[in-house]
Structure 1
Amino acid sequence: MSIESYSPEAEIFTDSGGEDPASDFGDDLELNHFDGLTFSSRYYKLLEERKSLSVWRIRNQFEDALQNNQLVIVSGVAQTGRSTEIPQWCAEFCLSAQFQHGMVVCTQTNKQQAVDLVLRVADEMDVNIGHEVGYTIPLETCCSSDTVLRYCTDDMLLREMMSDPLLEQYGVIIIDQAHERTASTDILLGFLKNILLQRPELRVVVLTMSHVVEKLLGHYGSVPLLNLEACGSPEVVYYNISSKDYFSSAIALIQEIHRTKESGDVAVFFTSEEEVHHAWSIIQSEGPRSVEELDQIRPVILCQSQQGLRPLLTQQVGGMNSRRVFLLTQQQEDLCWTEQSVNFVIDTGVQTKMVYNPRVRAYSAVHEPISRCQADIRRHLCGPTGKCFRLYPEAGLPQAETYPQILDCNITPLVLFLKRMEIAGLGPCHFIDRPDPEGLMQAFEELDYLAALDDDGNLSEIGIILSEIPLDPQMAKALLASCEFDCVSEMLTIIAMLSAPSCFLQPASQSHRKFQHPEGDHFTLINIYNAFKEKQRNQYLNVKTWCQDYFLDYSALMIADTIRLELTGTLNRIELPISEPSFGTKTNTDNIKRALLAGFFMQVARDMDGSGNYLILTHKHVAQLHPFSSYGAQSHKLGVPQWVLFNEYAPSEHNSIKTVSEISPQKFLEMAPLYFFYNLPPSESKDVLQEMLNAEDSRHCSKKQTTNGSIDADRSCAYETQTDKCVIQ
């Protein structure tokens, strides 16, 4: 049965007699084949708009390619309608087969982009969100048994593969934004090569830009390639500006654009959120000094790290005649696609990227040029009639495609996922770009330390449980250990607070001292969350006002609450016990530290000189307490703890350790694997621990000798100790 036979637009897009099929809608368009209801008048209005999109030029080609091939690549710039129209055509393809092979899923790299696309597509298809069209993003699902087209983030589709390795509920899988080269998208593209061999009825569509096409064709072989061109191209103006002067030049260019009185909003790309907020302050202060006859400039921040799911874009930003200036970084460029008012783009040509160093197990900020692929994305933000100002020479971008994230990130969670897929019998992942060998070795070593692997390098029982928990393996191990130490409730709170955006609006505020806990920052987070939940239960209190009074981010605390609820559901699903809360008791405090050490024993440091210079045991780098740590705030009064466990080492933030709690070396030796201890590099801190370990061994041997009362027992004890150390080393 052909695709057209079930297409709502069949009468429009099927050629007959050389006449333009779009001249008449036809009677059979009155019923929507997806829900059986009559089309609304808005459907026909939107249909006329959709026909003007560039993507409609290749509809027949696309349908033929999809009918006759398992995999189709569509290349072209954004704002051509590909992310909204192609998924609908794929839904019609599945409908023509009565969904015998499954429904349609379309991945996105940004969760807000997924939601925005669902809103638009449901409107175009004239169906209800959450029914025929839905979405799945972290912490939120809006789908039903009637859903035939679903948008989701690429990491969520990866998690689905754990229970459905061949993705058998889908007839068509669309990988959108493949050019962004996220780690999850690359893993999906690698596994789909295997899945296509085992499921000949499956169809895969890859939407990308021209810079990545050659690499994809080399990966998949001879497959259909459809090129999609935009309707027109914006004007591009180059500037030969020093890489050190891009910020001031961008601010000056905003004012210059405003003085031209040309209509349209402005989008400006900076390297970091700090630059974005700095630019916002400058524009706000300079606004009143603008020429009186000109409209006001209204800066709008598009950074959403502290704002929950929807950025500040939705807030009121001035009158109808004011010119908006959207301030954003590379991570927020997708949030500007829905703004048709943008007529000018200022591209600074640089970005700040977080790169993972496996040797020190930490991310560092790297300032570098963007790729030509990223530059093309930015250029088309202003539409075919706009202007793009590039603050670099025409030959100033050395790299064509975006650097694969899988080469820059901590791949330990991905390696855990890959080992889980081996159990499912899916076979090896065919990487487009193989991860760095050093990163792979570090990932396997870390999983081995966490007892996630058995002696043969396969996933252990603990590893299988860790893969079921949607967390970084270290956090998952700490949560799993809390089940043994009866502190699950407290550990759920700590992990939820660490996983959500920071709840501190002004991290150095004196208002936070009320929540500080003497045992450390992890315990302070529990105090804040418990206080938040207590205020929520008070029906006479405005919780948002309370958060403002204490400079706490309400949206971040709500996200933490949602994460905690999801993790609780995961523990219930895999039947792990959840103990009753007992926060504040000495036993509970000790057990929380034991559970934290079970997962984060690789992140322990010792104060070398009593002044807050901490030597990190694993790589001997020296770091200081982050100034926002409760210990940092009170160190001048109480001194600093000698041994600490930390959540993050941040070389880019003044070489500091963040989220710190005091531990004892005895607890560290109790919880850390002995072979991890012996693999630590030589240091004074290791010598101190070794002396404690030797003393413990001596006490153990003396007790055994006294009990047995024989020389043979003494010799046996010494032999066991030596053998143990030799094997581990």
Structure 2
Amino acid sequence: MLTGLFLDLVKGAITFLRFSVDEAERKAKTIGQTRKSLPIFAYREKLLNAINEYQTLQVTLKEEKVCCTQPRRVAAMSVAARVEEKMGVKLGYEVGYAIRFKDCTSDKTIIKYVIDGSLLREFLSTPLLDYYTCLMIDEKHERTLHTDILFGSVKCYQKFSEYFDNAPIFNIQVCYTKAPEANYTSTTITTAMQLHISQKNGDILVFLTGQYEIEAVQESLQHTCRVLGSKIYELMICPIYANLPPDMQSKIFKPTPPGVRKVVLATNIVETSITIDGVYSSKTRMESLLVVPCSRASAVQRSGRVGPGHCFRLYTQRAFHNELEEKTFPEIQRTNLANMDLTLKSIGIHNVMRFEFMDPPHEQALISALNDLYALVALVLKVGWLSKVTVMIPYFGVVLQINNE
């Protein structure tokens, strides 16, 4: 009896070790392939020949520091972790990230990932940002308020990259519904389960509008899996939304175990524009959170989130072409500009009416924001400078009216 149990334990240990070795080899192979695609790899042979020929070899590089912005915390953290893994260094040293309330960098950091709001706050203390040799503003298509201010501040908005001709093109089959869906949440659950049961390989990414919908869909999927039991493969459900703790968010990046399918339930933290946050009404002077259809540009962006595969749009093809907006309106054209005006004045741009916005907001919106600042004693009358009360407000990143209470 004990002998049989011992043999089972040995077999289990051997199986686990084989899986660990296979996983390590797969990971090493992937990293090796990635290294070959890097520009420095073209000089590999020259460097190796020089090392073999000369006893002492000195390679001199210019001291550089790169800053790359991301629109969300999870993106900054995950990309930094990936680059750290590729470079074979420790996170927080040569590669790091800085988000609100957490700075994982050091004096040795040469590649730093931040959210766009963090870089904008760096402008407040050092407007020239001369300690960076390169600034990379990623996900510029999302057109957040912070991104637009950054582009306008560094005067590089006319140099938007048009290099998509050389980008990889994945084979994505797009499917639409034949008729409008009365309850897209129910249709989402049905579609996800049909794919899980009928398709052998591949994970599933589902876009939903918010935490409430994600939790409802997650509960329904878990209930369905419990009912079907051993009749189907295991389904690993991974939610991701802004309020989810970072350690829970990072689970979506972990490899899917053999015999298991992963389904990721995501908000626009993975892509943009189902939830339009910060829609401002000049009549009520209030912002609201509205759920609206995404734009066609956003839908196309989402279809490429998972590389080659299938994209199921739970609306008709006619709705895609005739009912969806071509692109998402920039945040700067649909939000209260009072805090933005304070930020611009803090970095030395006193005449905000002449600031070179990528997509200028309505003139009346700018005037209304300035009037609000005067009314809240945030600006000195006649000269328009920051008052003593509001000099530090842009550093806090909270709503102006809350600062004034």
TM-score between the two structures when normalised by the length of structure 1: 0.45
C-alpha deviations, 1:237-271, integer Å up to 9, x for none?
22234153322221111121122142222111122
8 Å contact 1:43–1:125 — kept in the other structure? no
- Give the count of matched residue pairs: 357
**Amino acid across the alignment from 1:314:** K
Aligned to 2:170: 232
8 Å contact 2:95–2:111 — kept in the other structure? yes
Q: 1:308 to 1:232 in 2, by over 3 A?
A: closer
Q: 1:311 to 1:360 in 2, by over 3 A?
A: farther
**Amino acid across the alignment from 2:138:** D
C-alpha deviations, 1:197-230, integer Å up to 9, x for none?
xxxxxxxxxxxxxxxxxxx6xx349x87463322
8 Å contact 1:303–1:311 — kept in the other structure? no
Aligned to 1:512: none
5 Å matches for 1:234-273?
234-242=172-180, 244-273=182-211
What is the alpha-carbon distance in structure 1 between the residues aligned to residue 171 and residue 200 of structure 2?
18
Question: Deviation at 1:277?
Answer: 1.7
2:368 is paired with a residue whose SS is helix
Q: Does 1:311 align with 2:236?
A: no
Aligned to 1:451: 377
C-alpha deviations, 1:646-705, integer Å up to 9, x for none?
xxxxxxxxxxxxxxxxxxxxxxxxxxxxxxxxxxxxxxxxxxxxxxxxxxxxxxxxxxxx
Aligned to 2:393: 466
Question: Deviation at 1:275?
Answer: 1.7
8 Å contact 1:43–1:126 — kept in the other structure? no
Aligned to 1:491: none
8 Å contact 2:180–2:316 — kept in the other structure? no
5 Å matches for 1:224-623?
225=163, 227-242=165-180, 244-290=182-228, 292-305=230-243, 307-311=244-248, 314=251, 321-333=259-271, 351-354=274-277, 355-384=279-308, 386-397=309-320, 398-422=324-348, 428-456=354-382, 457-477=384-404, 599=405
Q: Which of 101, 104, 110 is equivalent to 2:66?
A: 104
Query: Gapped runs of 5+ residues in structure 1?
Result: 1-40, 61-94, 197-215, 335-349, 478-598, 600-729
C-alpha RMSD of matched pairs (Å)? 3.3
Question: Deviation at 1:427?
Answer: 10
What is the alpha-carbon distance in structure 2 between the residues aligned to residue 294 and residue 361 of structure 1?
52
1:135 is paired with a residue whose SS is strand
What is the alpha-carbon distance in structure 2 between the residues aligned to residue 468 and residue 313 of structure 1?
28
Q: Which of 13, 32, 38 is equivalent to 1:48?
A: 32
C-alpha deviations, 1:545-573, integer Å up to 9, x for none?
xxxxxxxxxxxxxxxxxxxxxxxxxxxxx
Aligned to 1:608: none
What is the alpha-carbon distance in structure 1 between the residues aligned to residue 336 and residue 181 of structure 2?
29
8 Å contact 2:144–2:332 — kept in the other structure? yes
What is the alpha-carbon distance in structure 2 between the residues aligned to residue 468 and residue 312 of structure 1?
27
Q: Does 1:183 align with 2:145?
A: yes
What is the alpha-carbon distance in structure 1 between the residues aligned to residue 126 and residue 165 of structure 2?
32
What is the alpha-carbon distance in structure 1 between the residues aligned to residue 325 and residue 385 of structure 2?
38
Aligned to 1:119: 81
8 Å contact 1:276–1:301 — kept in the other structure? yes
What is the alpha-carbon distance in structure 2 between the residues aligned to residue 114 and residue 304 of structure 1?
13
Aligned to 1:155: 117
1:120 is paired with a residue whose SS is helix
Structure showing greater Rg:
1
Q: 1:186 to 1:313 in 2, by over 3 A?
A: same
1:461 is paired with a residue whose SS is coil
C-alpha deviations, 1:182-204, integer Å up to 9, x for none?
110111011110xx7xxxxxxxx
Question: Deviation at 1:178?
Answer: 0.3
Q: Does 1:128 align with 2:54?
A: no
What is the alpha-carbon distance in structure 2 between the residues aligned to residue 123 and residue 156 of structure 1?
24
What is the alpha-carbon distance in structure 1 between the residues aligned to residue 62 and residue 373 of structure 2?
44
Query: Gapped runs of 5+ residues in structure 2?
Result: 1-24, 41-58
C-alpha deviations, 1:499-551, integer Å up to 9, x for none?
xxxxxxxxxxxxxxxxxxxxxxxxxxxxxxxxxxxxxxxxxxxxxxxxxxxxx
Q: 1:256 to 1:454 in 2, by over 3 A?
A: same
**Amino acid across the alignment from 1:390:** R
What is the alpha-carbon distance in structure 1 between the residues aligned to residue 124 and residue 169 of structure 2?
41
1:262 is paired with a residue whose SS is coil
Aligned to 1:514: none
1:131 is paired with a residue whose SS is coil
**Amino acid across the alignment from 2:190:** A
8 Å contact 1:373–1:402 — kept in the other structure? yes
Aligned to 2:54: none
**Amino acid across the alignment from 1:472:** V
Q: 1:320 to 1:111 in 2, by over 3 A?
A: same
8 Å contact 1:106–1:174 — kept in the other structure? yes
8 Å contact 1:317–1:324 — kept in the other structure? no
1:146 is paired with a residue whose SS is coil
Identical columns (%): 28
Question: Deviation at 1:409?
Answer: 2.4
**Amino acid across the alignment from 2:187:** S
What is the alpha-carbon distance in structure 1 between the residues aligned to residue 274 and residue 230 of structure 2?
35
Question: Deviation at 1:428?
Answer: 4.9
Q: 1:132 to 1:317 in 2, by over 3 A?
A: closer
8 Å contact 2:207–2:267 — kept in the other structure? yes
2:259 is paired with a residue whose SS is coil
Question: Deviation at 1:322?
Answer: 3.6
**Amino acid across the alignment from 2:251:** T
Runs of 4 or more above 4 Å deviation: 41-47, 223-226, 315-320, 423-428
2:93 is paired with a residue whose SS is coil
What is the alpha-carbon distance in structure 2 between the residues aligned to residue 288 and residue 414 of structure 1?
50
What is the alpha-carbon distance in structure 1 between the residues aligned to residue 223 and residue 137 of structure 2?
44
What is the alpha-carbon distance in structure 2 between the residues aligned to residue 43 and residue 287 of structure 1?
31
Aligned to 2:15: none
Question: Deviation at 1:124?
Answer: 1.4
Which one scores higher on RCO, CA 8 angstroms, separation ≥ 6? Answer: 2
What is the alpha-carbon distance in structure 2 between the residues aligned to residue 257 and residue 469 of structure 1?
46
